[in-house]
Structure formats: structure tokens, C-alpha cells
Amino acid sequence: MYIHTSQRMFSPITTLMVVVMGLFLPCTLAAQIDKYSISVAPFVHDSSGKKFDSYVVECRNAALRFLLASGRFTVVERDATKELESERKLQKSESFIDGKVVEQGKATGAEYILTGTMNTRTGILSLVISRVADNLKVEGGDCILKEGFFGINLVKKINTSMLEITSRWLAKDRYTVVKELEGDDDSTDKLLIAAGTTKGIKKGYTLDVFYVTIEEIDGVPYERDLIIGALKIDLVENGNFSVAKVKDGKKDIKKALLEGKKLICRIKTKD
């Protein structure tokens, strides 16, 4: 038996494959849309010798592992060791500052690029995330290290700095509060939020919950985020939804819900 459509014949097996693809393709696209594509350039140092080469490679590897483990980034890998020498020379030059980051990112197809530069005199590793399209710095920070700071201690230092940088970046993402799941007449205990694995949300994450108000200054309206509480992710249901326990502001959140305010949340940069 065949199904006739516009004078073309499709077997039952073909029809089933089309249906299955139709069911799973939106999920696949959703997962891809919510991840940032990032390339990690070989980290460099300001020393003329090769004494610090293996050190900055280890720093880069730690940053790379952090991005891979976060679940929020699609990492476009590059060969760090082969390009280290030319990279170090380029990052010292005017041409690198003017456009080398853009060139590198475009070559890999990434939206963003992470660079790292080690000051061997101060022991500070400067980490910068830039947008490839226009070489605009998105976030950055300094990781205070020292020569010989290898192994687990180095990884902890890098992880701490990367967490701070990416948290500030991801804090710009906002997630809608869908509805109250648990509570009583006066307070809210649990909320359903529209953010799951495709947003990189994990159990234990803490979030601010707020709504947007308008404040006028000299007759000019300005948006203001009014934080009314804090949440902690209790359960990540799937790619799109998570359950959050209310840590602070149970009564204020309840009041806002009863007033019909649109509640939004974002990852906290500090507890």
C-alpha cells in the first residue's frame, strides 16, 4: 500500500520517517538555538622564551573543560600547540588588536571567541570573551596565578574566574516564571520557570526573581528591574522547564503573582 500525494508515492516506512523527523527536529533546533558557539584561541604569554608555553596551554585546557562541562556552550576546538608561537606574536601586534580576533572566530564559524593573555611579571591571566561579528568585548576578567601553579589548584583558579565571567554574561539572559506550583494564601514555595537544559540550567543554581517597573526621571521613562526574591533550582524537568524553590521573598512573590505581574528570573552572579 502506498500513499499518493501530488502524484508522488511514499511507502509507509518513508511516511513514518517523515513524521518522526517532524517530531524531533523542533527539539533539536531548540537545543541548538540556546547554546552559544564559542572558539577558544590558544592562550599566550608575554615572555620571549618558551618557559611559559606549557603553562598557558594548561590554563587554556582548564578554561576549555569548564566551557564544555557548563552545558551552555558549543565549543569550536582549535589546535593550541601548533599555533602558539604565531599566536603569541600576533597578540602583541596592532594587527591582532584591530582584527585578528574577528578573523580567527570567523574561520571556525563561532559566534564568540575566548582569549587569554598571561603577564608573566604579575602572574595575572587576562581572560576576554569577544563577539566575532564586530570584535566587541562581551565580558572579561583577571585570574591571579603564579608560575608553577599547576594541577588542581590551577584548575580551581581558572574555574572560579570562568564562572564569574560567564555568570555575568549569562545573567543577561532572562527566564519567564510560568506559574506557581506550591504555596498557600500568603506565600509561594515553588515556581515553574521556562528554562531547562537547553538554557544550561542545572540543579542547585540560584536565581533572582523580579518584575520590570517604569521609573520617570525628568519626564523620561526608564525600565527598572525590581528584585523581589531568590530561587534555587530543585529539579530540571527537561530542555524547557525547571522547578525552583523560593529561598527569599515568598510573600512578595505571592503578592506579585496575585497582582498579575509578569515575573522574570535570571542567574544570580553572587549568593
My answer on whether 47 and 150 are in the same domain is yes
| Eight-state DSSP code of residue 185 | S
My answer on whether 164 and 135 are in the same domain is yes
My answer on whether 59 and 139 are in the same domain is yes
Q: What is the mean pLDDT of residues 33-44?
A: 80
CA nearest neighbour of 132 among 149, 154, 110: 110
My answer on whether 147 and 207 are in the same domain is no
CATH assignment of the domain containing 225? 2.40.10.410
My answer on whether 163 and 204 are in the same domain is no
Confidence at residue 171, expressed as pLDDT on a 0 to 100 scale? 67
Using CA atoms, how far residue 198 sits from 9, 24, 74, 192, 263, in Å, is 38, 15, 11, 16, 20
Whether residue 228 contacts residue 252, with contact meaning beta carbons closer than 8 Å, is answered with: yes
Give residue-wise pLDDT tens across range 224-267. Answer: 889 999 999 999 999 899 999 999 999 999 999 999 999 999 88
Q: Give CA–CA dist 8/258, Å, rounded.
A: 56
My answer on whether 40 and 151 are in the same domain is yes
Confidence at residue 4, expressed as pLDDT on a 0 to 100 scale? 39
Share of the chain above pLDDT 70, in %: 70
Whether residue 236 contacts residue 245, with contact meaning beta carbons closer than 8 Å, is answered with: no
- The whole domain housing 136 covers 36-170
22 is written with which cell numbers?
517532524
CATH assignment of the domain containing 147? 3.40.50.10070
CA nearest neighbour of 56 among 170, 129, 158: 158
- Asked if residue 193 has pLDDT above 50, the reply is yes
Mean pLDDT of the chain: 75
- Asked if residue 21 has pLDDT above 50, the reply is no
Structural domain count of the chain: 3
My answer on whether 113 and 159 are in the same domain is yes
My answer on whether 254 and 186 are in the same domain is yes
Of the given ranges (140-149, 217-226, 260-269), which has the lowest mean pLDDT? 140-149
